[in-house]
Amino acid sequence: MTTPMAEIPESLRDDEYNLKLLGIFHYVLAGLTAVIGCFPILHVVVGFIMIVIGAADGRAGPMPILGGLLFTLIGGLVFVVFQAMAVCLFLSGKFLQAHKHHTYCLVVAVMICFSFPVGTVLGIFTLLVLIRPEVRSLFGAK
């Protein structure tokens, strides 16, 4: 049986509201990170073109192939890192709303503090909410 809203302490309702709101902001930042993380695909394409052109033109030597390989590898690595961070943010938003995995949410909040300026603001607010004892008890953390 559910408890009527009048019986739930106001501070607990505020904490749940804050966690729900933070979860939504984590979803939004995850989407932005995923979209911005697609730009390195241009580097991968340019690198692949450099490799193909360098291999077709035997007179050019190994430099176009090596440059193209460098473009492709770095662009691919940046793409994977951004997409992994987007998945971490998405999961963090889901866990914040479900009140699960307190430590994971703390770690992600610290990691996004390095993503200036939006991630820094969201990370600091997430940390400020997650370190409160009432919120820790919501998560079942000690």
pLDDT digits (tens, 9 = 90+) for 24-75: 999 999 999 999 999 999 999 999 998 888 877 776 677 778 889 999 999 9
Which of these, 90, 105, 97, 72, lies nearest to 35 by C-alpha position? 90
With beta carbons less than 8 A apart as the criterion, state whether 52 and 101 touch.
no
- Percent share of the chain, pLDDT over 90: 69
- Percent share of the chain, pLDDT over 70: 88
79 or 50, greater pLDDT: 79
Which of these, 139, 142, 140, 141, lies nearest to 22 by C-alpha position? 139
Residue 65: what pLDDT?
A: 83
